[in-house]
Amino acid sequence: MIEPTVTMPPTRVRQPPVRRRGRPLRPSRPSRPPRSRRSSRPPRSPRSADGVRFPVLAVVFVCAACGLVYELELVALASYLIGDSVTQASVVLSVMVFAMGVGSLLAKRLRCRAAVGFGMVEAGLALIGGCSALALYAAFAWLGESRYVVVAFSLAIGVLIGAEIPLLMSLIQRAGGAGTGSGSRAGAGAGSAPASGTGSGSGVGVGAGVGVGAAKRARRQAPAAAEQDDAAGTVADLFAADYVGALVGGLAFPFLLLPWLGQLTGALVTGAVNVIAGGGLVLWVFRRDLTSRSRALLIAVNMSVLAVLATATVLVDDFEEAARRAVYGEQVRVAVHTELQEVVVTGGREGPPDLFLDGRLRVAGQDEYRYHEALVHPAMNGPHVRVLIVGGGDGLAAREVLRYPGVSSVTVVELDPGVVRLARTDPALATLNAQAFRDARVRVVYADAFNWLRGTADRVQERYDVVISDLPDPGITPSTKLYSQEFHGLVARVLTPSGRFAVHAGSVTDRAHTYWTVDATLRAAGFGTRPYSASGRAPGFAAGPDRADRTGGTEQGPGDWGFLLAVPGARPPALGLAPDAPRLRSLGPDTLAAAARRAERARGPELPPSTLVHPRYGD
C-alpha cells in the first residue's frame, strides 16, 4: 500500500563548526540546493507575443486593404479597356484566387527566413500592384491588346497575396514560441530539484516517483495544448484583420481613391502605403531576425520601390496624356473624367468633333447625321407632341426632334451630367447639336433611366407620343438592363396607345445575334416591331462595344447601324416619314424601304428574350 506523502521543501542543514589548528572556530556556510544545468543561465528576454501580435494585425489590415484595391483596380480598368465587365471580373477573381493558393504553397520555402521573405513579398506586391494600372493602360494604348496583361498581373498579385499569411503565421509563432519555450524550460529545471531530495522509506519513495512522472507528463502536455490554442487564436486574429481590411479597401476604392486620385494615381498611392507598412513591420518589429546583410537588402529594395512609385506619380499626367494621344490621335480637344466615365472630344478647329465615352466612339462628327436621322424620324411619323429621349446626352437626338414644330416638350433622361455639361459648353459640340439644350422645350433629368421609369410610370399625368432609346450598344454590359424585357415593359406603360418606340439595337450584319435578341425582347414585352438599318458608316468608326480605332482608320468597324421601330400590340408598324418631316440628308421613303428589306434578309431563327436575371446579349 502506498502511503500518502507530502513533499516538503528542502531544508538547509547546519554543519557543526570545524576546529582547525591555529585558527579560531568559524561556522560553516549553509549549503545551497543544487541548480539545474538548464536553469543556470538566465533566459534571454524574448519579445512579448502580445507586443508582436498587435503591429502584425495592423499590417495585415493595411495589406488586405491594399490587396483588394489592386484587385478592384484590375477589374475596373479591364472592364473599361476591354469591355464586358462580367467576363473581366470573372477572369480576374478566378485567376487571383487560384494564384493565392499557389502563393501559399510557395511560401513554405520561405519559412526558414520568414522575416526577409515577408519583406521582399510586400515590396514586390507594392511594385507590381502599384504599377499594374499603368502597365495595363500602356499595353492597351500602344499595343492594342491588354487581355493577357490582365491575366499576368492577376496571377502575379495573387501569388504574392497568398504568401502573406503563411509567412506572418511563422513570424508570430516564432516570436510567441521563444517566450513560451524559455519559460517552460526554466520551470522544468526548477521543478525537478525538490522531488529529487525528498522521501525516506519505500512508501515515500514510490509516492515521490509517481508524482514526478505525473508532473513530467503534465509539463509535456500543457505546452502542446497551449500552443494549439495559441495557434488557433492567431489564425482567427489574422483572418479577422484580413477581412476587415478588405472591407475598408473595397469601400475606399469607389468612394475615395477613384473620385480623388483616379485609377492610375490611386494604384500608385496604394502601392506606397503597402511597401511602407510591410517594410516597417519587418525592419522594426522583427529586426532581431535579420542579419546585417538582410537588413541592408530590405532597406535598399524598399527605398527603390518607393522611388519608382514616387517617380511614376509625378509623371502620371504626362503618361496619361501620351497614352491618350496614342489612343485617340493627336487632335484631342477635351478630355475630362466625370464621376462615371472618361469623356474625350477630338477633332480640329475646322472639322466636326468626335465624342468618345470610355474609349468607345459615341459620335462621329462626319457621319453622325445618318445615325440620328434614322433613329428619330421614322418614330415621328404620327403624333409627336410629347417626346421622351432615353440617353442622348450629346443633344443630337434632341436636335432632330426639335426640327418638328408640333413638338411641345422633350424630356431627356441622361445618367451622366458631365456629358450634358460638355454638350452645352463645348463650342464644337454645341454647334453640332444646334444648341439643343438651350431650347425652352427641353428638360433634362439626371437619373438612371430604368429607375426613373420605374418611379414615374404610375405617376405620369400625360403619356409620351414618342420614346427614343439613344443608348450604347446592348453588347456593353452596363447597357444590358436597358435592353431587357422589364425595361421595355416600363416603356410600354408611359406610351400612348398610338405611341412609337425607336430603339438602337446594334449592327444588323456584324452582330446579328444581339440585334435579333433585342427584337425578340421587344416582342416579348408586348410590342410589334419593324426592323431596319442605316448604312454608310465610315471605316474604323465603331459606335458599339468596339474600342477606338488606334491604327489610323485601318481597322474596319461595323458597316451599319441597326434600329427597331416598335408599337404597342402584335402588328408591326408602317415604316415612313411624317408629312411635316424636315428635309433630311440621308433618309427618304425609298431608302427606308430598302433599309427594311436589308434588315429582313438578315433575319435568323427565333431567339429567346433577354431579361434582368438572364441577359442574352453577346455573340
Q: Which active-site residues does the annotation give?
A: 470
Q: Which amino acid is at 425?
A: T
> Of 430, 434, 436, 432, which Cα lies nearest the Cα of 410?
436
SS3 363: strand
SS3 309: helix
**DSSP, res 46:** P
User: Grid coordinates in use for 342?
Assistant: 472618361
What are the strands, taking DSSP E only, across 174-289? none
The number of beta carbons lying within 10 Å of the beta carbon of residue 380 is 25
Distance in angstroms (rounded) separating the CA atoms of residues 48 and 179: 7
Q: How many helices (H) and strands (E) does the chain have?
A: 18, 11
Distance in angstroms (rounded) separating the CA atoms of residues 457 and 388: 13
Q: How do beta strands 354-357 and 527-535 pair?
A: unpaired
CB 281 within 8 Å of CB 56: yes
Question: What strands lie across the sheet with 409-414, from one edge to the other?
Answer: 442-446, 409-414, 386-391, 464-470, 495-506, 560-568, 527-535
Q: How do beta strands 464-470 and 495-506 pair?
A: parallel
Max CA separation in the chain (angstroms): 147
User: Grid coordinates in use for 383?
Assistant: 403624333
Give backbone dihedrals phi and psi of 115, rounded to 5 degrees, phi first: -65, -50
> Of 74, 66, 144, 133, which Cα lies nearest the Cα of 313?
133
Q: Say which residue the cell 475646322 belongs to.
A: 350
Q: How do beta strands 342-346 and 332-337 pair?
A: antiparallel
CB 473 within 8 Å of CB 514: yes
What are the C-alpha distances in Å from 498 to residues 378, 457, 520?
14, 17, 21
Sign of the alpha-carbon dihedral angle for 417, 418, 419, 421 = positive
Half-sphere exposure of 415 (CA within 13 A, CB side): 17
